[in-house]
Amino acid sequence: MSAASEAVGPGSGRAVRTLHEVRTLVRTTGRLVRTVDLSAAAATLTYFAGIAVVPWLLLATWTTTWGRSDDAAQARLLDLRVLVPPDMGARPAFDTLVQAGTHVSLVGAVVLLFPASFYGEGVRRACLAVLPEGDRFTGWRARILLVVGLVVVLPLLTRALLGTGGLLAPLAPEGGGGGVADLLLRILVGFTVLWLVLSVILTWVFRAVAPGGPRWWVAGVGALVTGSFLAGFLHGFQLFLSLPVDVGGPFAGLGFVGGAVAVGLWLYLLHVVLLVGWVFTRALEEQVAAW
């Protein structure tokens, strides 16, 4: 009996300590979030995202032309339009993006890096608004670091997403699928791949672009946790696009205005989640440093 107690005791003690550390981490994150104006910081980041999100999508689309003709890349991407819900008019926007992105020149891609880099500045300024600290060259430092990091991995991440899309397209209703099993498989595989892709991006953002510079493994843990929520959130946005709702209704039938407002609102909510994830990562770094 004594030997059994000794065997169970250390494991039980570790479980208690782990539970205590997790509770402390959650309380610290909640305390930090409650003491700042998270809404204003998320709005700041959403403004910069409004400048940068389309250039990044165009750059990702442009990388699909590497090693193949523009028309071949365009045809391959248009095969994936079956994964875009048609009800709210998202497919014409997808087609326009593909058409423009697959015909960007090298000079055009270099020019796109300038507006795309604004997202890095938005991330750093929003994080400094949440947890202020001394900082120099905020804008240029964040913009350069974001571009340097993402340009390296963007082609690989884009190929991972497109490869997954090619596997999932036949499971969509217009691709020949449409059953419950197909839907569940699309959600499971799509969520997992998007989660991992976002985690790679967020690891760099939390480690290098945002202030604080946590340890690499801490940034990775924070990225995995935050990325899981963001992947679920983006799947929710896809569900939103499948609703037969006239977004132009509140704006006297101006659908393009309603669409822009709807996308802006979703971006704002996404950035609230992103900033909470960054606060969680900072809290984890502080807790690790205190061990």
pLDDT tens, 64-116?
999 899 999 999 999 999 999 887 878 999 999 999 999 999 999 999 999 99
pLDDT at 6: 46
Tell me the residue type at 204.
Answer: W
Q: Which of 3-7, 38-42, 122-126, 238-242 has the lowest mean pLDDT?
A: 3-7
Exposed/middle/buried for residue 227 (C-beta within 10 Å: 0-12, 13-18, 19+): buried
- Report if residue 169 sits inside a domain: yes
- Report if residue 14 sits inside a domain: no
Q: How many whole angstroms separate alpha carbon 121 and alpha carbon 134? A: 15
Tell me the residue type at 6.
Answer: E
Q: What is the mean pLDDT of the chain?
A: 89
Identify the CA nearest to 84 among candidates 189, 257, 238, 272: 238
pLDDT at 10: 60
Residue 132: band (very low, low, confident or very high) from pLDDT cuts 50, 70, 90? confident
Q: 280 vs 116, 159, 167, 267, CA distance in Å?
A: 26, 30, 34, 20
pLDDT > 70 in the chain, percent: 96
pLDDT at 4 over 70: no
- Report if residue 274 sits inside a domain: yes
pLDDT, tens digit, 9 for 90 and up, residues 227-259? 999 999 999 998 888 888 888 888 888 888 888
Q: What is the pTM of this model?
A: 0.89
- Report if residue 82 sits inside a domain: yes
- Report if residue 16 sits inside a domain: no
- Domain with 276, as residue range(s), is 38-289
- Report if residue 1 sits inside a domain: no
pLDDT > 90 in the chain, percent: 63
pLDDT at 54: 96
Residue 9: band (very low, low, confident or very high) from pLDDT cuts 50, 70, 90? low
- Report if residue 132 sits inside a domain: yes
CA–chain centroid gap for 87, Å, is 24
For residue 191, which phi and psi values (nearest 5 degrees)? Answer: -60, -45
Distant-in-sequence, close-in-space partners of 188: CB < 8 Å, separation ≥ 6 = none
- Report if residue 21 sits inside a domain: no
Residue 168: band (very low, low, confident or very high) from pLDDT cuts 50, 70, 90? very high
What domain count does the chain have?
Answer: 1
Q: How many whole angstroms separate alpha carbon 216 and alpha carbon 195? A: 18
Helices marked H in 102-137 — which ranges?
106-116, 118-130
